[in-house]
Every structure is written in C-alpha cells, then in structure tokens.
Structure 1
C-alpha cells in the first residue's frame, strides 16, 4: 500500500515538472515566429504582451496561466 501511494506521489511530481518545462519551449516557438509574422501592429503588440505575461506567470509558478497566455499568442501567430 505504501509503495502505491509513494508511486502515485512520484508520478504526480514528474508530470508537474514536465508541465512546468513546457512553458520555455512555447516561449521559444513564439520568439522564433515573431520576426517573420505578418500581423497588424495592434495584434503584434498583443502577442508581445501575452509573451511577457506568460513569462511572468511562469516565473511566479503559475504554469497553467502561463501556458494559457502563451497558447493564445501562438494561436494569433498561427503556430
């Protein structure tokens, strides 16, 4: 029984760590797409603001919020 609980706990830590590490890869994808993006000035400003917000949320430990903001920027960029 103790092994099962310990295994479940360790598995949750691994998945949380993997989730937290996806934020930097999304930021990198956004950074790579911005220079060649053909968006209006207003949309580009919004993408950059979402990118900054995503990085700030990631640094604060809010990885779900970070990923939401970053995925919205990705959607606007078409990636």
Structure 2
C-alpha cells in the first residue's frame, strides 16, 4: 500500500518538477540575450520586468505563471 501511495505521489509531482527545472534555463536564456538585444527602452524595461516577475513567481512556487512571464519576455527578445 505504501509503495502505491509513493508512486502516485511521484507521478503527481513530476509535472511540477518539470516546470520548476525549466524556469532557471529560461531565465539564463533571457539573461544571455539581453546584452545584445536591440529593443526600445520601453521594451527593454518590459522584458526586464517580465524576467523579474518570472523569477519571483518561480521562487514562490508558481511555475506555470513563471513560464508564462518568461515566455513573454523570450518572445519580445525573439528567442
């Protein structure tokens, strides 16, 4: 019985772990693209705000929200 509960718990948490692991790699991609990005000041500020929002949401455990914010920043950067 305990093994079944453990397996069910592992399967339930697997998607959360996948989201949690992709947030840092998305943040790194944004950080790498920022220095060479040719955006207006307003767009650059928006990308930086989305990057910060993504990190804050990641740290709060909202990985779906983090993915959305980071995805928008990546879209603006063209990556």
TM band (smaller chain): 0.7 to 0.9
Aligned with 1:67: secondary structure?
helix
Please state how far the C-alpha of 1:6 moved relative to its aligned partner.
4.5
> Cα deviations across residues 3-49 of structure 1 (Å, max 9, x unaligned)?
66643331222221121111101000000000000111110000000
**TM-score normalised by the chain length of structure 1:** 0.87
Q: Distance in 1 between matches of 2:77 and 2:21?
A: 21
* 2:27 equivalent to 1:21: no
User: How big is the alpha-carbon RMSD for the aligned residues of Structure 1 and Structure 2?
Assistant: 1.6
Q: Distance in 2 between matches of 1:72 and 1:34?
A: 14
Runs of 5+ unmatched residues, structure 1 = none
Count of aligned pairs: 79
Runs of 5+ unmatched residues, structure 2 = none
Q: Distance in 1 between matches of 2:15 and 2:4?
A: 17
